Amino acid sequence: MSDLRICVRFAIIILDLPDKEEAVIEYIKRRGREIRESTFKTTKGRPGIIRLSKLSRLLSLWRLIMQLKNDHYTYRITWSAEDKEYVGLCAEFPSLSWLAKAPETALKGIRKVVAEVVEDMKKAGESIPEPIANRPYSGKFVVRVTPETHRLLAIQSAETGVSLNRLVSAKVSR
């Protein structure tokens, strides 16, 4: 059984508990001796022993999975001709990026970096940017244009028989 499957099994066991991380730690402490000595099937079918170091790696992996599960940030993967690699970017954290040969690796990399930065910000008591996807939008925003552009749009809306708002909305939507 892979580390990921064991980790997911832990997550499923404690999914309904309020403090998931503490529940995993308590579970490991409570069953530590049994777990250390128990055997399981490895991916090659041979029996193996779960060691404490493996359990701590599983716990770290579980934390990462839970962070990524709740990750609602906006990501973009683009090709960098200069670097000859894909670049992973996050709109809410414009100073962060991740370079990789494959787009999937770039996405995994930037998501991991963002999760680590969010964790560090939490520990430091800093405010964490709200994901764009979670922000409420009213459908209204103010755009400042020159008086000449305003006049031209007003004339165009009058000639077409639609409101200025509908004309600008149609132009922006294109």
Q: What residue segments make up the domains of the chain, in order of their start?
A: 3-69, 75-132, 137-173
- Predicted local confidence at residue 71, as pLDDT: 82
pLDDT tens figures, 126-141: 999 999 998 998 988 8
Q: Rounded to whole angstroms, how far apart are CA atoms 36 and 10?
A: 15
Which of 75, 78, 62 has its CA nearest to residue 25? 62
User: Is the pLDDT at 1 greater than 90, yes or no?
Assistant: no
DSSP label at residue 76: E
The tokens of 134 are what? Answer: 């979670």
DSSP label at residue 134: G
Torsion angle in degrees (nearest 10) through CA of 108, 114, 115, 116 = 110
Specify the pTM: 0.54
- Predicted local confidence at residue 58, as pLDDT: 72
The tokens of 126 are what? Answer: 């800093």
What's the mean pLDDT in 72-94?
96
